[in-house]
């Protein structure tokens, strides 16, 4: 049975349409899921929308809608974004679904049975936009006497009856978790932040509201709805059939990776593990808090008028180009910047001019000079062997090692280095000259390059799946032979030659892009 791998994104808050940050996280998670599938793992990938809470209720009221109608409309945009960006999830979970209410109530009852929930009165600062409670000491000064959350969002003084979770009880266990499992929270800077936060002391957490009713009902207290983060975090269990602990739950829990933005690390690495500890459930193996995407170095905001629709970028430049740029350009875990000009320049230099040109030249020369016929009847020389080993080392070891560590930009840099090595080999061997001078040597050169292009295309396929598929289809590589297991099988080329496959007139996969008019 294949080794399982369960990856989740944070579920998106659908009080507006998706922005580039939502796309970035979904694409990164999809790249990881595809990479793990290539490794032969049994992957389950879940994403979705977080549809409850005061923020959704208020937005619906502003628009003269019912919260469910707003959730239905906006969730459809997030599903369309995932599908349009070729994000291949196994479940898109909406927290308004009945099975999620059942799972959330079961988790609540498990925490209650452990003596960790009690009824009291809440008085304190609350940010509707963050759906988060803040201590007075965490607030920052706004204009005049205004108080703001650490994220710069407005806070309001809230007084109401509330259920509380005994978060303070888990302070020592959480610190032991960070100390004994340094991989639990990455990158290291986020772990240090949470160690400092928890070390400063934890207060019990208000986990229900009575001022609105758009949410999951608290069992036995029907006038209370759960604090949206109790409900939202439970989605990772819901998608595996919890509270049923057989079936999917037994196969995939605990999660191997929760992929989230750095702004919600506290919820996932303080509250969430404490809830799970209380309920007697295993903790996720890793939480990774990635950085923000900046628009020409600026954070996007509606007031600045620089909010980007990711689907407009995908339509303009291509889905794979956008995916490649985001994984290549941004050091994962840090903030990164993008612009249309940067996307065009990176795509033209690396996809069109380097890898695309390499593949097109190789297939075209085999088609024109060898009638598309492949052959394993040749004797490689030292240059061929050196190239073969260099590409094989990159594809079997260097890129996989970095992707396993979520170092996507470093892994792609290794891949590009192999592409550049192939292009240098083409220039040195000059197969267009060998056609007349030494046809047998030309055949050896082109077959060596054909094998290299196949390896490079399979290896980068998690990042640019559509383009890799088009290229590998032209090369006659069976769809069942495009994973890392096939990559390590040295018999594949002989099998392809024996099948009598012939290269047809090749079609370029990476067109050159034009700079946007405003930058040209």
Q: What is the pLDDT of residues 109-125, one digit of tens each?
A: 999 999 999 999 988 89
300 pLDDT tier (thresholds 50, 70, 90): low
In a domain, 395, yes or no: yes
Tell me the residue range of the domain where 494 lies.
339-498
Indicate whether 59 pLDDT > 80. Answer: yes
Domain-located, residue 402: yes
Q: Is the pLDDT of residue 137 over 90?
A: no
The number of C-alpha atoms within 13 Å of 268 and in the hemisphere containing its C-beta is: 28
Q: Which residue has the higher pLDDT, 327 or 130?
A: 327
What pLDDT score was predicted for residue 305? 64
| 315-324: b (≥16 Cβ within 10 Å) or e | eebbbbbbbb
Q: Is residue 520 part of a domain?
A: no
SS3 assignment for 366-431: HHHHCCCECCCCCCCCHHHHHHHHHHHHHHHHHHHHHHHCCCHHHHHHHHHHHHHHHHHHHHHHCH
pTM of the model: 0.93
pLDDT beyond 60 at 519: no
Give the SS3 label for residue 305: coil
Write phi, then psi, for 249 (nearest 5 degrees): -60, -45
Q: How confident is the model at residue 90 (pLDDT cuts 50, 70, 90)?
A: very high
pLDDT reading at 313 higher than 50 = yes
**pLDDT given for residue 518 in this prediction:** 52
Selection from 48-62, 114-128, 267-281 with the highest mean pLDDT: 267-281
| Integer Cα distance of 480 and 499 in angstroms | 15
Mean pLDDT value of segment 190-214: 94
The reply to whether 75 falls in a domain is no
Which of the four pLDDT bands, split at 50, 70 and 90, describes residue 489?
Answer: very high
Distance CA 198, CA 203 (A): 10
**What span, in angstroms and rounded, lies between the C-alpha atoms of 442 and 433?**
8
Q: What is the pLDDT of residue 103?
A: 98
Cis peptide before 3 (omega within 30 of 0): no
Read off the pLDDT of residues 427-450 as tens digits, 9 standing for 90 and up: 999 999 999 999 999 999 999 999
For the chain, the residue count is 520
Q: What percent of the chain has pLDDT over 90?
A: 85
In-domain check, residue 168: no
CATH number at residue 356: 1.10.730.10
Is residue 446 assigned to a domain? yes
The answer as to whether 346 is a domain residue is yes
- 359-374 per-position pLDDT tens digit: 999 999 999 999 999 9
Confidence of residue 520 (pLDDT cuts 50, 70, 90): very low
Can you read off the two tokens belonging to residue 516? 């946007």
pLDDT at 133: 80
Name the average pLDDT for the chain. Answer: 94
d(CA 25, CA 332): 10
Q: Report the C-alpha gap between 102 and 149 in whole angstroms.
A: 32
CB atoms within 10 A of CB 4: 16
- Mapped to the 3 state alphabet, what secondary structure does 331-354 carry? CCCCCEEECHHHHHHHHHHHHHHH
**Exposed e or buried b per residue across 271-292, where buried means at least 16 C-beta atoms within 10 angstroms of its C-beta:** bbbbbbbbbebebbebbbbbbb
How confident is the model over 498-519, as a mean pLDDT?
Answer: 88
Residue 40 inside a domain? The answer is no
What is the pLDDT at residue 123? 84
Residue 302: pLDDT over 80: no
Kindly indicate the confidence band of residue 301, based on its pLDDT and cuts at 50, 70 and 90. Answer: low
Structural domain total, the chain: 1
**What average pLDDT does this structure show over 70-98?**
97
Mean pLDDT of 312-331: 96
């Amino acid at each position: 049975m294949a080794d399982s791998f369960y990856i989740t994104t944070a579920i998106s808050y659908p009080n507006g349409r998706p922005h580039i940050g939502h796309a970035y996280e979904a694409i990164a998670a999809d790249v990881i899921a595809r990479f793990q599938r290539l490794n032969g793992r049994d992957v389950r990938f879940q994403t979705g929308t977080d549809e409850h809470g005061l923020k959704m209720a208020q937005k619906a009221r502003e628009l003269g809608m019912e919260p469910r109608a707003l959730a239905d409309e906006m969730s459809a945009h997030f599903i369309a974004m995932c599908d349009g960006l070729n994000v291949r999830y196994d479940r898109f979970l909406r927290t308004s679904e009945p099975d999620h209410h059942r799972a959330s109530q079961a988790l609540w009852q498990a925490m209650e049975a452990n003596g960790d929930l009690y009824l009291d009165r809440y008085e304190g600062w609350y940010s509707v936009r963050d759906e988060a409670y803040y201590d007075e000491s965490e607030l920052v000064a706004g204009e005049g006497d205004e108080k703001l959350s650490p994220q710069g969002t407005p806070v309001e003084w809230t007084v109401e009856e509330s259920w509380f979770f005994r978060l303070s009880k888990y302070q020592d266990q959480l610190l032991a978790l960070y100390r004994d499992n340094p991989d639990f929270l990455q990158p290291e800077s986020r772990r240090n932040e949470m160690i400092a936060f928890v070390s400063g002391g934890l207060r019990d957490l208000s986990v229900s509201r009575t001022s609105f009713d758009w949410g999951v009902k608290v069992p036995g207290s029907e006038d209370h709805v759960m604090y949206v983060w109790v409900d939202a975090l439970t989605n990772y269990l819901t998608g595996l059939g919890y509270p049923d602990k057989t079936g999917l739950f037994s196969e995939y829990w605990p999660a191997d990776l929760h992929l989230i933005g750095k702004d919600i690390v506290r919820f996932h690495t303080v509250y969430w593990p404490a809830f799970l500890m209380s309920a007697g459930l295993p903790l996720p193996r890793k939480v990774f808090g990635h950085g923000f995407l900046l628009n020409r170095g600026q954070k996007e905001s509606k007031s600045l008028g620089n909010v980007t629709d990711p689907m407009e970028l995908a339509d303009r430049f291509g889905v794979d180009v956008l995916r490649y740029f985001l994984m290549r350009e941004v050091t994962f875990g840090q903030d990164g910047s993008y612009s249309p000009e940067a996307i065009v320049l990176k795509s033209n230099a690396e996809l069109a001019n380097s890898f695309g040109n390499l593949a097109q030249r190789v297939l075209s020369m085999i088609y024109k000079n060898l009638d598309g016929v492949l052959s394993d009847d040749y004797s490689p020389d030292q240059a061929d062997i050196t190239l073969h080993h260099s590409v094989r080392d990159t594809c079997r070891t260097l890129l996989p090692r970095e992707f396993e560590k979520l170092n996507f930009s470093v892994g792609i840099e290794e891949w590009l280095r192999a592409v550049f090595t192939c292009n240098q080999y083409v220039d040195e061997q000059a197969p267009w000259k060998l056609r007349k001078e030494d046809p047998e040597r030309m055949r050896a050169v082109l077959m060596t390059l054909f094998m290299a292009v196949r390896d490079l295309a399979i290896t980068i396929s998690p990042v640019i799946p559509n383009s890799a598929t088009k290229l590998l289809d032209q090369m006659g590589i069976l769809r069942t032979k495009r994973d890392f297991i096939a990559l390590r099988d040295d018999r594949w080329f002989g099998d392809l030659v024996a099948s009598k496959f012939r290269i047809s007139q090749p079609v370029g996969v990476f067109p050159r892009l034009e700079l946007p008019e405003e930058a040209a």
